[in-house]
Amino acid sequence: MKLIDGKAVAAQIKLEIAEEVKQILASGGKRPHLAAILVGHDGGSETYVASKVKTCEEVGFQSTLIRYEEDVTEDELLGKVCELNENPGIDGFIVQLPLPKHISEQKVIETIDYRKDVDGFHPVNVGRMSIGLPCFVSATPAGILELLKRYDIETSGKHCVVLGRSNIVGKPVANLLMQKAYPGDCTVTVCHSRTKDIKKYCLEADIIIAALGSPEFLKGDMVREGAVVIDVGTTRVSSTETKSGFKLKGDVKFDEVAPKCSYITPVPGGVGPMTIISLMRNTLLAGKKGIYGYL
Ligand code: GUN
């Protein structure tokens, strides 16, 4: 069994991005600038956004954090999105999800200029991704593919089972892995909360992407010998073992599943660090106007 070290891969890519930023600046280019909008004080969102801002600093990007209280109106938020769309100094921006119930996430996403949508959530980016055109690919699926690539894991002709059908992970990763490319060329099955006998599908899988958000869902008896298991779960559970008072639990019962795998990602230190680094890559691309040209 080989542990896929997302933390180490992310650290390597961070150096690569930082080097590229230095070159851009040395040749008179502009420092890439990411803005993030954070609404409310959800613990998970606070942590993720703080991590994004910190990583921007580490790779040499400029970052701007815009905060709103939980009771911000949809109109006010949409107004800020339009302002960021128009601001030539901002290369890309994200609105951290989830948003409070009185705000339509879909409306917010569709208001973002797709050319600045470094999260890859806008329907233009999702649509282009699904037919293999250049676009911003959302960060978690991009991070998963990068791990498969950097560990040289064979995907062509493999049966990949994706657990979960979210717009952020399940759907896009299933789509990317079925495309005629490497990593890709998989036969993909998507399982979700209404799937009958998930175990049957998992036992037929060469690659399992677990993205249900259900702690320790995937047990040892659901995985066949030699499978590749990618754990996307990051449920926060309270814990007395950590200073913060919580720890992250994956969707995989690691102790049972790991001995059967050829490769497996841990939680934390697997997919998580790759998600943030993929956002940085998209921001670098946005700064270079590398997909949609000059705005
Ligand atoms: N909430 C959970 N994951 C994400 C993400 O990748 N981007 C944004 N904007 N919100 C999230």
| Domain residue ranges of the chain, discontinuous segments joined by + | 28-114, 139-272
Per-residue pLDDT of 8-35, as tens digits, reads: 999 999 999 999 999 999 999 999 999 9
Pocket of ligand 1 (CB under 6 A): 94-97, 119, 139, 168
CATH class of 139-272: alpha beta
Residue 82 corresponds to which tokens in the numbers above? 């339009």
Query: For residue 97, how far is its CA from the centre of ligand 1 (angstroms)?
Result: 5
* Residue with CA closest to ligand 1 atom 11: 97
- Three-state SS for 269? coil
Do the beta carbons of residue 78 and residue 95 sit within 8 Å? no
Query: For residue 272, how far is its CA from the centre of ligand 1 (angstroms)?
Result: 11
Do 28-114 and 139-272 show the same overall fold? yes
Q: What is the mean pLDDT of residues 181-205?
A: 98
Q: Specify the ligand 1 atom closest to the Cα of 97.
A: 10
Query: For residue 36, how far is its CA from the centre of ligand 1 (angstroms)?
Result: 11
| CATH architecture, range 28-114 | 3-Layer(aba) Sandwich (3.40)
Q: How far apart are CA 138 and CA 21, in angstroms?
A: 21
* Residue with CA closest to ligand 1 atom 8: 96
Contacts of 274 (CB under 8 A, 6+ apart): 6, 9, 10, 140, 142, 143, 144, 146, 147
Q: Specify the ligand 1 atom closest to the Cα of 139.
A: 6
Per-residue pLDDT of 211-253, as tens digits, reads: 999 999 999 999 999 999 999 999 989 899 898 888 999 999 9
Q: What is the pTM of this model?
A: 0.96
The pair phi, psi for residue 5, each rounded to 5°, is: -95, 85
Q: Specify the ligand 1 atom closest to the Cα of 140.
A: 6
Q: Kindly tell me if the per-residue pLDDT of 294 is higher than 80.
A: no
> Could you give the residue numbers annotated as active site?
52, 96, 119
Helix (H) or strand (E) holding 52: helix 43-59
Query: For residue 158, how far is its CA from the centre of ligand 1 (angstroms)?
Result: 29
Name the region of 111 (left: φ>0; alpha: ψ -120 to 50; beta: rest).
alpha
Q: Where do the DSSP E strands lie in the chain?
A: 2-3, 33-39, 62-68, 92-95, 159-163, 187-191, 207-210, 227-231, 235-238, 246-249, 261-264
User: What pLDDT does residue 295 have?
Assistant: 61
